[in-house]
Amino acid sequence: MRVNYERCGYCGACVGVCKDMALELIENRIVIYEERCRRCKGCIIVCPLKALEE
């Protein structure tokens, strides 16, 4: 999973659906812990801005 920081609105919606705890919002930056991600793509679905991509 990758974050397009130019598009991200740092709202945290993606964090709220990440059951693997692979996402964290630190101030205005989404951080991905790749080793925890199980590619469920929930974060891609809820992102209002298309800021997440595989």
Partner 1 sequence: MRRVLKDEYDVLVVGAGPGGSMASYYASKHGAKTLLVEKSQEIGEPVRCAEAVPKLEEFHITPSEEFVRSYIKGGYLIAPNGKKIVVRGGKTEGYVVERKIFDKYLAIRSASLGTKIAVKSRVVDLYPCEDGFKVKVVHLGEEYTVKTKIVIAADGVESSVGEMAGLKCKKNPMEVCSCAEYEMTGVKLLDKHMMEFYFGDLSPKGYAWIFPKGDTANVGLGVIDRGKKAIEYLNEFLEHPILEGRLKDATPVEFKCGGVPVGGPIERTVDDNIMVVGDAAGQVSPLTGGGIYLAMSCGSIAGEVAAKAVKRGDYSMETLMEYERRWRERFYNTLITELKYKRILQRLGERELNIIAEVMEDNLEEIDVKEILFKVIKRAPSLLKYFKDVVA
Q: Which spans of this chain sit near partner 1 (rule: CB under 8 A)?
A: 9-19, 21, 24-28, 42-43, 45-50
Torsion sign (Cα): 11, 42, 1, 4: negative
Shortest spacing between CB 17 and partner 1, in angstroms: 5
Shortest spacing between CB 13 and partner 1, in angstroms: 3
Q: Alpha-carbon distance 41 to 37, whole Å?
A: 9
Cα 32 to Cα 25, 40: the distances in Å are 9, 14
Between 19 and 34, CB nearer to partner 1 = 19
Between 13 and 32, CB nearer to partner 1 = 13
